[in-house]
Every structure is written in structure tokens, then in C-alpha cells.
Amino acid sequence: MKHVLTTAIIAAAAPAFAGEAVDYASGDREFEGYLAKAESPKGSVVLIHDWDGLTDYERQRADMLAELGYNAFAIDLYGKGVRPDTPDGNRAETEKLYGDRELMRTLLSAGLEAAAANDISTPVVAGYCFGGAAALEMARMQPEGVTGYASFHGGLETPEGQDYSAAKAPIRVYQGGADQSPDLATFAAFLTELETAGTPYEAEVYAGAPHAFTVFGSDRYREDADQKSWANFLTFLGEVNPGP
């Protein structure tokens, strides 16, 4: 209950962002992440943005984590200044990465390196919607040093030719029972994949919660599901995050 109350208080306030923008590069492209540091860090988190790019939503989540004692770095998978503001624009950017998984993995690795360069070590990687799918892509990569993965209402489909055989760090999945993207049949198939691979995981499903149930201010926001998933995520951080 302490985590839930703390989250509610932070989320209720208009965010005055305490972190800072961090530029980094991948090849000849420039990216802009967001760094929020805790005063007395007890662990670290790498955040991956929704399909509209790194926005105030991810900055607020990073600041919430810093307030709770976790250094947080939100990575950028689209490029500096690329922040689409229409569904078609969002879809175009995600399709570039869904259609080129090697590029997605290159950019995920670049973001993880930028986080490490800013004292974000042995992190948990967490993402929302598209970012949840990207966090699971990273889980299948299993980069050294990541201690766990979390997906909030994320895409769960595994691309052809990939599997979870290398995914040894624990995974947490938070889905809405009313989510149709992915639906519960896809969710069940995903859990079967994890079982087959022997990947450690836990999954939570929240009754009545639609897709994007954590997005503050959205008509799909569900406070109860958001607070429960956030509290469960914080418990997970305490279990697997060895330090900053």
C-alpha cells in the first residue's frame, strides 16, 4: 500500500521534470534520452517509450522512479526530434523497427550503452505498449548485465526465427483483461512460449483494463490497474535490482 499511495501522490501533481535530456549516438544518427537520478540510489531502470516516442509520459515515469530511489534512463528508439503526433505517424515509426529487427536491436543496444555511460548499471528494462514489445525483444537478446524485464500492456508476438531460449533473466508482464491488442489468446500463446523455454516469469491480468491502461489522462487510463501494476513492478525491482 505504501507504494500505491506514493505513486498516487506523485502522479497527481503536475510534473516538474527533475531529470535532464541526454544526447547520444548510434552510427551517424543522434538520439535524445532522458536521465533522472535518485539522491540515494538503490537500483536502476531503463525505460522504453510507447509508440509516440519519448514524451512527457516517460519523463514522468522516470522521475517517479528517481523519487522512489531508482536511477532511471529513458531511451530513444526514433531519433532526436522524431516525435510523431498522429496515429499514422506513430505507426510508421514502429513499423520501421518491427520490420527490421536487427535495426531495433542495434538501437536497443545503443540505448543500453548510453544508460551505462550515465551510471545506469545492472538495470531492469521496462517498456510500455510498443516499448513493452521492445523490452521483450531485448529479453530475447539477453544482453549482459540486465537483471530483469517488464512489459506494461506491450506487444507479445514473437517474430519468426526468434524464441526465448536465451532469456534467463526474469520477466514480468502486466496486461489488461479487456486489451485486444494483443488479445488474451496471444497472451496465452506467449506464456506457453516462456514455459517451453524455461524462462522465469510472472504475469498479471487486470479485469476490465483496456490497452494503454497506465497512460495518465487517457480515456483508457484505469487507476486501479495502473496502481496495482506499478506496485507489483516496484516489488519486482526490489527483488532483482542489486544496486545502481
* 30 neighbors 79 (Cβ within 8 angstroms): yes
- Give the predicted TM-score (pTM) of the model: 0.91
Domains of the chain plus CATH, in order, are 2-9+22-239 (3.40.50.1820)
Going by C-beta distance under 8 Å and a sequence separation of 6 or more, which residues neighbour residue 229? 152, 174, 204, 206, 213, 214
| DSSP calls for 67-81 | HTTEEEEEE-SS-TT
pLDDT per position in the chain (244 positions), as tens?
Answer: 334 333 443 444 445 678 999 999 999 999 999 999 999 899 999 999 999 999 999 999 999 999 999 999 999 999 999 999 999 999 999 999 999 999 999 999 999 999 999 999 899 999 999 999 999 999 999 999 999 999 999 999 999 999 999 999 999 999 999 999 998 899 999 999 999 999 999 999 999 999 999 999 999 999 999 999 999 999 999 999 766 5
